[in-house]
Amino acid sequence: MKVKNGEIFYGSHDIDTDPYYTGERVNRNFIVDGVSEGKSSYKYSKQQNRIKSVSQEEADKKIKELAITADKYAITEPIVNKLNALTTRDNEYRTTQDYKADRELAYRNIEKLQPFYNKEWIVDQGNKVPSNSKLLTTEVLSVTGMKDGQFVTDLSEIDKIMIHYADGTKEEMNVTAVADSKVKQVREYDVTDLGVVYTPNMVDKNRDQLIADVKAKLSSVELISPEVRALMDKRGKAEENTEGRQNGYIRDLFLEESFAEVKAGLGKLVKALVENEDHQLNSDEAAMRALIKKVEDNKAKIMMGLAYLNQYYSFKYAELSIKDIMMFKPDFYGKNVNVLDFLIKIGSSERNVKGDRTLEAYRETIGGTIGINELNGFLHYNMKLFTNHTDINDWFKKAIEKNAYVVEQPSTNPAFANKKYRLYEGINNGQHGRMILPLLNLKNAHLFMISTYNTISFSSFEKYGKDTDEKREKFKSEINKRAKEQVNYLDFWSRLATDNVRDKLLKSQNVVPTPVWDNHNSPNGWASRHGHIDGKPDYAPIREFFGRINKYHGYKYGYGAYAYIFAAPQPMDAVYFVMTDLISDFGTSAFTHETTHVNDRMAYYGGHWHREGTDLEAFAQGMLQTPSVSNPNGEYGALGLNMAYERQNDGNQWYNPNPNKLKSRAEIDHYMKNYNEALMMLDYLEAESVLPKLKGNNDRWFKKMDKQMRKDGQPHQFDKIRDLNNEEKKIQLASIEDLVDNNFMTKHGAPGNGTYNPSDFSSAYVNMNMMTGVYGGNSSDGAPGAASFKHNTFRMWGYFGYENGFIGYASNKYKAEANKAGQTLSDKYIINKVSGGTFNTLEAWKKEWFKQIKTKAQKGFTAIEIDGKTIDSYEKLKDLFDKTVEEDLKGTGTDKTVKLKEKVYKQLLRNTDGFSGDLFTAPQA
């Protein structure tokens, strides 16, 4: 079969969404290579495991085996047709005087311009069509009147007609009214340059009483009413179908404003409705009564259909309103559609008019009726027909620009060049398609969106109090800044992620981009789910978008933001901001936190998952979340990595100043090595200066990172950070190795005493201050604790690199191998694997690394300036630490030592080009 404008075999999205019932049946059928023609629009229609093809030889064999005879059946004309001298549709003009075979298509097309005339007249008119007219060569789908560039869908005066052709093109032709129509009650217009007339497919007669009666029926309908409640879908429980609950379902449709607009405009709407419905040339009382009865029986459905089309199809192509076509000219695309039946069909069910089902409602109720099955196809078709746009991304952005500011942020990674990142291609994707029509129909809300290849962020100017054009324009620079930070972060991961999972970041290309929903905390307060605020105007962003698409989220005390995720990554993953504002310094940091939860198992660990005994929050704050200056959680100055912010290397930075400077995984690993070795050198210097001066009072400077075995979970452990006991206070600490072996850490900046569990949602948020010396590794025989896990992860990355050290330690990379060997995945197992058998405990490894660092430092490091003095040798730096520690020990604090460490660290960062250069004197590093 050849279906040039349809699906080659199965024309329903069920082939994607219903793999069981539909898939089983599709698998029993075949298409024939070289014979079957048609489109393959759906995902699974392109895969041979669903729609199979066979050769002509195989097809003939199957036909013979199954004794199929349908291909040999010939349809013969019934004898009654011959007796009655009936003429087929194909032959109706051939027997007419003056018929010309080469003008057959012109006659068919003239029917569309002159629907009330007989075939003799149509042949006469068709013969007048100029020989160069497209009417002779291309099928006409519809003809629509126009006035001043707008569609006219009633009997109002027109000055042009639009002829819509089957090849997806149109012609607009000037017309002038004919004073004396050939047919009474039919208006005629001369079509300039065609030599023929045009008659609207509407009868010109007095319908005042009919219009009044229909209007009275429709105006009696209230939105909250028994008639509309009857249209609500039935729920499974009786208590879910009470009058009160059904009224709630009606409010959830967010149709109040549109319903009121329709009622206010019923005079004009009913006139157009009746003129398009009543084609009787005479005043047939029975026909009028039947029409009124039909309206009476379906008045609620008609009103809901009108309200729905008014709400979701009011957008324009240039200046042409598509609503006029959808309400009163649904046959525009070539299908024979009854206007009233179309409205009744749309309004007949709650599911057809829900704001979060506009995509499905188009597919199920509208598309098949008008002849363009999918919403995306409908929008594309109209764009090409009515505008000069060739790219729907450009058209969509332009179409919504009055009420929506769109930042489309492309990747700076050449590997991701030409990958999808634009807004329309992101939302024309799975469940996101339900946003398309609401965005096209914004009226009072002012939204903004940030679109990347991985995420789409949604917010509004109203949320930030930007209630004038001037304020909104000024705020755009702040939106642009945060958009750039978002893509900086994603691009950083695109350079860092391993080759086997890198492309999984391309969510707009491969699945659906993750939606990031800003909070609704406007200057007037947090609106209700229907956009109401006590004593204040309704909140338009919820009324017109977030509420309609069922993406409202309420206030949750204590939540800055949260990720909505599942056991395995899937398209429904999302991020919600609550107490944190998306467009803010900390908002970007929170963005990196929550998207870590969404993306990490998919792309951050080389295809592996979280390490056994850990959970989500062990990987975001204090590890992969980019710290912000304004961070309220104490993360700024803790272990971390700047993947988002573009900062100046001004000597006051904690992290790599600009993530874009690190252009490859190798450069990132080089930075992480310098970063960790600079911190460890400072920890070494601090220890060397402190240890000789403690004199048996270790508690003055240190505390302990101890183990606490998990209840019923041995050998897995938590970290127990505590003060030293009496015995530990008096241990003779002769070297840094003693600190490592005893798992001591400095008191300053250390987490508070307590237990740190990497699998909970409280202590797992722990930050590890960069100036805190954590000397041991607290090597585990199973899962680690939260504090040591984060600290060890950074150190492992610094020494062994991202792919070997970070992934090897933080993920389940070696779990299967450990289990196969009859062992538990532990710190000890991992360090042995990662080091190639060189080390069996983290402590042994750290002692060796500390030794290496001191050796390199003594040979020379990048010169720095501290308090006006040049420091270019280990001895000079050691002297500074000795004096500073001595001053602190005279008192009760450690502030001077901490400040010195900070000064030295920041100068080392500055003078090594953000640790991207050489920390130690080359080539000794």
- The sheet that has 702-709: what strands, in order across it? 744-746, 702-709, 717-722, 754-756
pTM summary value: 0.88
User: What is the Cα–Cα distance from 232 to 229, expressed in whole angstroms?
Assistant: 5
DSSP per-residue letters across 29-90? -EEETTT-EEE--STGGGSTTTSEEE-HHHHHHHHHHTT--GGG------HHHHHTT---GG
Range from 98-102, 847-851, 896-900 carrying the lowest mean pLDDT: 98-102
Span 6-28, pLDDT tens digits: 677 766 666 665 555 566 666 66
What is the structure's pLDDT at 209? Answer: 92
What is the structure's pLDDT at 925? Answer: 46
Span 406-462, pLDDT tens digits: 999 999 999 998 899 999 999 999 899 999 999 999 999 999 999 999 999 999 999
Percentage of residues in the chain with pLDDT exceeding 70?
A: 93
> Per-residue b/e over 830-862, b at no fewer than 16 CB within 10 Å?
bbbbbbeeebebbbbbbbebbeebbebbeebbb
What is the structure's pLDDT at 674? Answer: 98
Which phi-psi region, left, alpha or beta, contains residue 734 (left: φ > 0; alpha: ψ -120 to 50)? alpha
Mean pLDDT along residues 266-272 = 94
Span 570-623, pLDDT tens digits: 889 999 999 999 999 999 999 999 999 999 999 999 999 999 999 999 999 999
Mean pLDDT along residues 221-245 = 96
Span 608-642, pLDDT tens digits: 999 999 999 999 999 999 999 998 888 999 999 99
Mean pLDDT along residues 220-244 = 96
What is the structure's pLDDT at 68? Answer: 79
Question: Which amino acid does the sequence have at 356?
Answer: D
Question: In the structure, what pLDDT confidence band is assigned to residue 87 with cuts at 50, 70 and 90?
Answer: low
- Residue 696 or residue 799, greater confidence: 799
What is the structure's pLDDT at 19? Answer: 57
Range from 63-67, 176-180, 325-329, 543-547 carrying the lowest mean pLDDT: 63-67
What is the structure's pLDDT at 278? Answer: 74
Domain boundaries, the chain: 2-72, 104-198, 208-222+255-387, 395-606, 659-911
Percent helix / strand / coil, the chain, rounded to 5: 45, 15, 40
Active-site hit among 275, 277, 594, 843: 594
Average pLDDT of the residues of the chain: 92
Please answer whether residues 627 and 770 qualify as being in contact, where contact means their C-beta atoms are separated by less than 8 angstroms: no
Span 625-684, pLDDT tens digits: 999 999 888 899 999 999 999 999 999 999 999 999 999 999 999 999 999 999 999 999
Please answer whether residues 611 and 810 qualify as being in contact, where contact means their C-beta atoms are separated by less than 8 angstroms: yes
What is the structure's pLDDT at 614? Answer: 96
What is the structure's pLDDT at 477? Answer: 98
**DSSP secondary structure code for residue 490 in this structure:** H
> How many helices (DSSP H) and strands (DSSP E) are in the chain?
34, 26
Q: Looking at mean pLDDT, say which of 249-258, 507-516, 628-637 comes out highest.
A: 249-258
**DSSP secondary structure code for residue 632 in this structure:** T
**DSSP secondary structure code for residue 215 in this structure:** H
Using omega within 30 degrees of 0 as the cis cutoff, is the peptide bond preceding 751 cis?
no
The answer to whether residue 134 scores a pLDDT higher than 80 is yes
Mean pLDDT along residues 393-408 = 98
The answer to whether residue 71 scores a pLDDT higher than 80 is no
Q: Which of 556, 581, 554 is nearest to 465 (CA)?
A: 581
What is the structure's pLDDT at 344? Answer: 97
What is the structure's pLDDT at 48? Answer: 46
Reply yes or no on whether 594 is catalytic: yes
Question: In the structure, what pLDDT confidence band is assigned to residue 280 with cuts at 50, 70 and 90?
Answer: low
Range from 158-167, 175-184, 462-471 carrying the lowest mean pLDDT: 175-184
Range from 93-97, 183-187, 294-298 carrying the lowest mean pLDDT: 183-187
What is the structure's pLDDT at 285? Answer: 84
The answer to whether residue 366 scores a pLDDT higher than 70 is yes
Please answer whether residues 230 and 250 qualify as being in contact, where contact means their C-beta atoms are separated by less than 8 angstroms: no
The answer to whether residue 52 scores a pLDDT higher than 60 is yes
